[in-house]
Amino acid sequence: MGMLDGKVAIITGAGRGLGREEALALAREGCNLIINDLGAGFDGSGQPTKIADEVAEECKKLGVKAVGNYDSVTDFNKAKAIIDQAVSEFGKLDILVNNAGILRDRMLFNMTEKEFDDVIAVHLKGTFNMTRHASAYFREQGKADPSLKNFGTIINTASDAGLLGNVGQSNYGAAKAGIAAFSVISAMELKKYATVNCVVPIARTRLTTDATPKMADTMSKTDESGFDVFNPANFAPMIVFLASDKARRITGEVFRIAGDKCWVYQGWHAVNMVDNGGKRWTPQILAERVKSELMKGLPRKETLMDAVGLLIKM
């Protein structure tokens, strides 16, 4: 018995890296799959390949049904077609994993409008497009059969580039921070029909090696025991768990997985406060008190390299 026997999932960006490992992990647990991937380069360019079909074949060898799909998640109507394909092929949809992404790294003062728009379109709008249509399906099914309760599962993919910040990735980081917020709000709105959670991987993929050469050496390192902490396969079990009935009461959360470690995030929250005794602030009073009181003793901000440093010796 697998944890996902008989369930049906769509995974976007499932041709390589994290998405492929997620697909294989779900297949091992008995899940039938729509494998969505354009088959293009890490920046969304280049000649498309039939990589989705190759991953579908790998999944089928594990004893499940799987079909490739090459539609772009940036297109609202094509996103609905992906949802419709799952229902047409398998009779239903239980799980959506939004993983598709590209990178167009550039310092802000050099970034073009297209470099910003394209990244937002794939990550943030793509996540919206897929979630919008999946949520409508889950709601329709849930209203028709109230006994299903929150049977649907949506898992979105964010990044520390957005939650902690990373130089050269204002477009990507903004999209990923947006996805985390989108996930929390979606969970509130869909609580009767689906769980919605967000995951933050630190793993070796084209986006952390080919697209970010300065990270390639770090991503190839192991810990002191020789454990390959950045292998994307380390991340996939969290997707299986969140997609399973074991996680049915977990929603609106943001998790990071890397190597042998798992974190849970809490979003923006106040860490200090000063008040002005019932009087309106003036610029002069703020100038006196913000640095000396409000900003005094604040906890140090976490960085991406803090997390990486817990995994390997830097």
Q: What is the layout of strands, in order, in the sheet containing 32-36?
A: 66-69, 32-36, 8-12, 95-98, 152-157, 194-201, 254-258, 261-264
> Which of 72, 135, 159, 244 is an active site residue?
159
Residue 297, SS3 per DSSP: coil
| 238 contacts 255 by C-beta, under 8 angstroms | yes
Q: Could you confirm whether 292 is annotated as catalytic?
A: no
CA distances from 95 to 23, 38, 90, 292 (A): 12, 20, 12, 50
> Which of 70, 137, 172, 193 is an active site residue?
172
Residue 24, SS3 per DSSP: helix
Element (H, E) at 96: strand 95-98
Residue 44: name the closest of 106, 100, 124 by CA: 100
Residue 225, SS3 per DSSP: coil
> Which of 7, 80, 125, 176 is an active site residue?
176
Q: Could you confirm whether 70 is annotated as catalytic?
A: no
Residue 243: name the closest of 6, 58, 7 by CA: 7
Could you tell me which residues are beta bridge partners of residue 154? 96, 196
Q: Could you confirm whether 172 is annotated as catalytic?
A: yes
Strands (E), 138-223: 152-157, 194-201
The span from the CA of 235 to the CA of 260, in Å, is 9
Residue 257, SS3 per DSSP: strand
What are the catalytic residues?
Answer: 159, 172, 176
